């Protein structure tokens, strides 16, 4: 077991350095290309069929109280294929905090050219936060901060996004939550405000041969007061069945990614993150597992797997 002092120092710095009260940054994923709807509501319905994705992420294994995240996303297009609907539920645990987000997603497709499509999306839901400082041990248990638990603090969420795509590339921009709640800090006698987060994603699929497809992709996340997150990845799809690749998150981690299309409708993916920061000395990396079910409906010509 790693030092509880080190563990909770990391956790409390993560929590208390945020200008969002105890609201954290959105959870990050290495295999974000499989659960795009979690960061951009306009993705809902873009596959033109039912898509269910479950993700489990265990970050910084070996550090007590390090983040763990579970996410479930379900979305599909309606019969006219212009409207997409989706539901996204996530649970994020970080030290003494538990955060549950439930969001409904809506998108509408515009056919710009015979091959180019634009989806505009909205999301709305709730963010439920609990912080219980009776969990764990602290270097200074008499700190006033530790006597103020947060019980089911619920705030509304409202986000939007745009998703431009063809069969071979995509580009998306989104803001997960426009609602910036104010939080009063009775210790500092001040008011802090949540800041907007912005996501920019993109990728391109190259058909190298009948058996190989290559996909470079990127994700950028910006939050005022926090470092810019830049994630770039490169994946190979072999015979529409096996996926393998690498990912690099700037000044944070390098990752290996692998996946297999077990059945035509079922995909299993795994990634391992190797930490590049000073935390590398006190953790054993990050594991992430993805399970995806895509229903290929009859009489629909769907490029399966579409690779995004």
DSSP states along 102-134: EEEEEEEEEE-SSS-EEEEEEEEEEEEEEE-TT
Task: Give the global pTM.
Answer: 0.85
Confidence of residue 305 (pLDDT cuts 50, 70, 90): low
Confidence of residue 182 (pLDDT cuts 50, 70, 90): low
Residue 236's DSSP bridge partners are 214, 244
Can you give the residue ranges of every domain in the chain? 4-176+260-294
**What integer pLDDT is reported at residue 131 of this predicted model?**
86
Select the more confidently predicted residue: 83 or 148.
Answer: 83
Q: Is the peptide bond before 200 cis (omega within 30 degrees of 0)?
A: no
Residue 22 has pLDDT above 60, yes or no: no
Report the range out of 2-6, 162-166, 190-194, 275-279 with the highest average pLDDT: 162-166
CA distance 68 to 24: 13
In the numeric block, the tokens 């990912």 are attached to: 247
Confidence of residue 144 (pLDDT cuts 50, 70, 90): low
CB-CB contact of 130 with 152 (8 Å): yes
CA distance 270 to 30: 9
* Complete DSSP assignment for 263-286: ETTEEEEEEEEEE-SGGGGG---E
Residue 271's DSSP bridge partners are 257, 288
How is domain 4-176+260-294 classified at the CATH fold level? Answer: Porin (2.40.160)
**What integer pLDDT is reported at residue 195 of this predicted model?**
76
The pair phi, psi for residue 278, each rounded to 5°, is -65, -15
CA distance 191 to 195: 13
- For the chain, what percent of residues have pLDDT higher than 90? 63
In the numeric block, the tokens 């809902």 are attached to: 44
Burial 21-55 (b: 16+ CB within 10 A, else e): bbbbebbbbbbbbbbbbbbbbbbbbbbbbbbbbbb
Q: Please compute Rg for the chain using Cα positions.
A: 20
């Amino acid at each position: 077991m790693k030092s509880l002092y080190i563990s909770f120092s990391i956790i409390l710095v993560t929590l208390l350095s945020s200008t969002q009260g105890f609201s954290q940054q959105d959870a990050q994923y290495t295999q974000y290309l499989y659960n795009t709807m979690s960061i951009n509501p306009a993705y809902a319905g873009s596959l033109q069929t039912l898509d269910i994705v479950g993700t489990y992420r265990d970050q910084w294994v070996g550090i007590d109280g390090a983040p763990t995240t579970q996410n479930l996303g379900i979305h599909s297009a309606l019969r006219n294929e212009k409207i997409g609907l989706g539901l996204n539920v996530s649970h994020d645990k970080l030290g003494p905090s538990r955060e549950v987000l439930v969001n409904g997603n809506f998108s509408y497709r515009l056919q710009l050219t015979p091959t180019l499509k634009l989806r505009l999306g909205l999301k709305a839901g709730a963010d439920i936060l609990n912080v219980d400082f009776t969990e764990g041990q602290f270097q200074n248990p008499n700190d006033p901060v530790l006597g103020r638990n947060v019980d089911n603090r619920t705030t509304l969420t409202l986000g939007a996004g745009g998703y431009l795509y063809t069969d071979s590339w995509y580009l998306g921009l989104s803001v997960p939550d426009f609602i910036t709640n104010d939080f009063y800090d009775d210790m500092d006698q001040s008011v802090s405000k949540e800041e907007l987060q912005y996501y920019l994603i993109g990728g391109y699929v190259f058909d190298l041969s009948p058996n190989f497809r290559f996909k470079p992709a990127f994700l950028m996340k910006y939050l005022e007061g926090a470092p810019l997150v830049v994630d770039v990845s490169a994946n190979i799809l072999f015979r529409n069945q096996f996926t393998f690749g690498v990912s690099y998150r700037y000044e944070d981690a390098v990752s290996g990614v692998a996946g297999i299309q077990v059945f035509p409708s079922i995909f299993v993916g795994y990634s391992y993150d190797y930490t590049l920061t000073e935390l590398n000395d006190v953790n054993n990396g990050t594991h992430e597992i993805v399970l995806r079910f895509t229903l290929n409906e009859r009489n629909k010509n769907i490029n399966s797997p579409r690779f995004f």
